[in-house]
Amino acid sequence: MMKKIFLLLIISLFIPNIAFADNIGITYDNGFYHIVLNGNKIKKKIEFVQSDKLITNKEIHYKYKSKLTINTGFFDLKNQQTISYVVNKKKLIADPTKNYSLMNNKELAPYMGKILNRSELRIIKCGLKYKYDIARHNEPVCKHCKIIASAQGGPQILPVKNLDKNLQDEFFIVKKGNKVVRQSASVLFRTARTVVGIKNDELHILIFPTDCAKTMSEVAIICRNLGFEKAMAFDGGSSTSLDYKSIHVVSTQFKGDTGRKLKSFMIVR
């Protein structure tokens, strides 16, 4: 018995910075955090929240006494209004069509259908069972299912046959011929990322800090190698944020900074 215990202790020394509690597992390896939410009970503890005024991830984390908090959807920094749909407890709590500046932007008008139909992470209830899904906003759920909570972001990364086409379909890049003339969320550049994936009925969260910046194509390779069935990004760059126990990650560069002020968040109660 003592030999077995000693062997387990030795093995544990080679597991990089791993912690498990309350069905939340977190590892830090190759420069990024990999969080796994496993089990059925935790699905009922996940909520998506938004703030009328912009607020940091850390402030939301303490306000809701959350066990885990990450940033989610896109927003307008100038008017502090949402650019992403957010649903919580079956109620629409953030609606981009109420964002006057967005809806009356003549330059974006030809692409509005794409912007409003970007991908979202969903918590769905089918009968008594809860499950995760990633789908475009306008994609309906099965007849006997209801969306309990959701947060929109984008782009969807998996399963996608052609990432370049999907980036165009969700208005993250605009091309003229083979030339990119516009991009959003720095999808073609290396930047910090907040990414969610689904695998074996588990929710996976990848946080890529600034010193592990990735393009969306590089993120897609990592998600595929991790065996994700579906994956998508939330707002990234300076919005990328994580709070869990003693771990506080922000992508702003100032020492001791509490992070950029944001609009919407995913919390685990």
Tell me, what's the pLDDT at 3? 38
Averages of pLDDT over runs of 10 residues in the chain (269 residues) are 37 42 89 97 97 97 98 97 98 98 97 98 96 98 96 97 96 96 97 98 97 98 98 97 96 80 97
Tell me, what's the pLDDT at 21? 54
**Spatial distance between the Cα atoms of 65 and 212, rounded to a whole number of angstroms:** 29
Tell me, what's the pLDDT at 252? 80
Tell me, what's the pLDDT at 255? 65
147-171 residues labelled b (16+ CB within 10 A) or e (exposed) = bbbbbbbbbbbbebeebeebbbbbb
Tell me, what's the pLDDT at 204? 98
**Spatial distance between the Cα atoms of 179 and 25, rounded to a whole number of angstroms:** 42
**Spatial distance between the Cα atoms of 231 and 229, rounded to a whole number of angstroms:** 7
Domains of the chain by residue range: 40-204+214-268
Tell me, what's the pLDDT at 8? 35
